[in-house]
Amino acid sequence: MDTRSLHFFLQLSDNLHFGRTSELCHISPSALSRSIKQLEESLGVQLLERDNRSVRLTHQGQLLQNYARDLLQQWDSFRESLLEGAHELQGEISIYCSVTASYSFLHDILSLFRREHPGIEIVLHTGDPAPGIARVLAGKEDITIAARPEKLPQSLAFRRITVSPLVFISSLSDISQQPCSATSKEWAEIPMIMSEEGPIRDHLNQWFSDIDTTPNIYAQVAGHEAIVSMVSLGFGIGVVPKIVLDNSPLKDKVSIMSNTPKLPSYDVGFCTLNKRLKSPIIKAFWSQL
Amino acid sequence: MDTRSLHFFLQLSDNLHFGRTSELCHISPSALSRSIKQLEESLGVQLLERDNRSVRLTHQGQLLQNYARDLLQQWDSFRESLLEGAHELQGEISIYCSVTASYSFLHDILSLFRREHPGIEIVLHTGDPAPGIARVLAGKEDITIAARPEKLPQSLAFRRITVSPLVFISSLSDISQQPCSATSKEWAEIPMIMSEEGPIRDHLNQWFSDIDTTPNIYAQVAGHEAIVSMVSLGFGIGVVPKIVLDNSPLKDKVSIMSNTPKLPSYDVGFCTLNKRLKSPIIKAFWSQL
DNA sequence: TGCAAATATATCATTTTACGCAACATGGGG
DNA sequence: CCCCATGTTGCGTAAAATGATATATTTGCA
What pLDDT is recorded for position B179? Answer: 57
What pLDDT is recorded for position A173? Answer: 67
Amino acid at A171: S
Domain limit, last residue, from A86, A104, A134:
A86
**Inter-residue contact A95 to A126 (CB < 8 Å):** no
Cβ of A29 less than 7 A from strand D = yes
Which residues of A lie inside 8 Å of B (Cβ-Cβ)?
1-3, 43-45, 49, 51, 53-54, 58-60, 63-64, 67, 71, 75, 78-79, 81-83, 85-86, 90-92, 119, 139, 275, 278-279
CATH number for the domain including B227? 3.40.190.10
What pLDDT is recorded for position B175? Answer: 55
Sort out which chain A residues have CB atoms less than 8 A from B278's CB and list them.
49, 51
What pLDDT is recorded for position A55? Answer: 92
Instruction: Output DSSP code: residue B252.
Output: T
Sort out which chain A residues have CB atoms less than 8 A from B79's CB and list them.
43-44
Same domain, A197 and A151: no
User: Average pLDDT of B192-221?
Assistant: 88
Instruction: Identify the residue whose Cα has the smallest distance to the C1' of C19.
Output: A31
Dist. CA A39–CA A66, nearest whole Å: 15
- Strand pairing class (B143-147; B91-97): parallel
Same domain, A28 and A47: yes
Amino acid at A81: S
Domain limit, last residue, from B86, B112, B130:
B86
Which own/partner pairs from B54-58 qualify as long-range (CB within 8 Å, at least 24 positions apart)? B54/A139, B54/A275, B54/B16, B55/B12, B55/B16, B55/B17, B55/B18, B56/B16, B57/B13, B57/B16, B58/A91
Same domain, B105 and B241: no
Listed residue (B122, B142, B119) closest to B132, CA to CA? B142
Same domain, A114 and A138: yes
Dist. CA A220–CA A226, nearest whole Å: 10
User: Average pLDDT of B153-180?
Assistant: 80
Same domain, B177 and B259: yes
Same domain, A187 and A105: no
Instruction: Output DSSP code: residue B175.
Output: T
Looking at chain B, the whole-number percentage of residues with pLDDT higher than 70 is 96
Instruction: Output DSSP code: residue B245.
Output: H
Nearest to A2 among B1, B58, B279 (CB): B1
Dist. CA A67–CA B185, nearest whole Å: 69
Same domain, A40 and A76: yes
**Inter-residue contact B131 to B180 (CB < 8 Å):** no
Dist. CA B251–CA B253, nearest whole Å: 5
Substitution target in A7, A49, A53, A276 with the highest count of B β-carbons within 10 Å is: A49
B236-254, pLDDT tens digit by residue?
899 999 998 988 898 888 8
Question: Which pLDDT band, with edges at 50, 70 and 90, does A153 fall under?
Answer: confident
- The helix or strand, by DSSP H or E, that contains position A92, with its residue range, turns out to be strand A91-97
SS3 B249: coil
**Residue B185: CA count within 13 A, CB half-sphere:** 0
Sort out which chain A residues have CB atoms less than 8 A from B87's CB and list them.
none
Looking at chain A, the whole-number percentage of residues with pLDDT higher than 90 is 39
Same domain, A193 and A204: yes
pLDDT of B174 above 70 = no
DSSP for B218-241 reads EEEESSHHHHHHHHHTTS-EEEEE
What does the buried/exposed string (b/e) look like for A252-264 if buried means 16 or more CB atoms within 10 Å of the residue's CB? Answer: ebbbebeebbebe
What pLDDT is recorded for position A16? Answer: 93
* Structural domains counted in chain B: 3
Dist. CA B117–CA B126, nearest whole Å: 22
CATH number for the domain including A66? 1.10.10.10
Instruction: Identify the residue whose Cα has the smallest distance to the C1' of C8.
Output: B52
Same domain, A29 and A102: no
A46-102, pLDDT tens digit by residue?
999 998 888 999 999 999 999 999 999 999 999 999 988 888 888 889 999 988 888
Same domain, A99 and A218: no
- Strand pairing class (A143-147; A91-97): parallel
Alpha helices in A16-163 (DSSP H): 18-24, 29-43, 59-86, 99-101, 107-116, 132-137
Same domain, A142 and A176: no
- Which residues have CB under 8 Å from B152's CB, separation 6+? B158
What does the buried/exposed string (b/e) look like for B230-262 if buried means 16 or more CB atoms within 10 Å of the residue's CB? Answer: bbbeebbbbbbbbbbbebbeeeebbbebeebbe
Task: Please give the residue range of the domain that contains residue A101.
Answer: 91-163+268-288
Same domain, A65 and A114: no
**Inter-residue contact B67 to A78 (CB < 8 Å):** yes
Domain limit, last residue, from B36, B52, B86:
B86
Radius of gyration of the CA atoms of chain B, in A: 34
- Which residues have CB under 8 Å from B145's CB, separation 6+? B95, B96, B97, B98, B101, B105, B106, B129, B132, B161, B268, B269, B270, B271
pLDDT of B273 above 70 = yes
Listed residue (A132, A147, A149) closest to A94, CA to CA? A132
Question: Which pLDDT band, with edges at 50, 70 and 90, does B257 fall under?
Answer: confident
A254-280, pLDDT tens digit by residue?
888 887 888 888 888 999 988 888 888
Q: Which nucleotide is nearest to A48 (CA to C1')?
A: D7
B23-72, pLDDT tens digit by residue?
888 888 888 988 998 888 888 888 888 877 788 888 888 999 999 999 99
- Which region holds residue B236: left if phi is over 0, alpha if psi is between -120 and 50, else beta? left
Q: At what angle do helices A3-15 and A29-43 cross, to 10 degrees?
A: 110
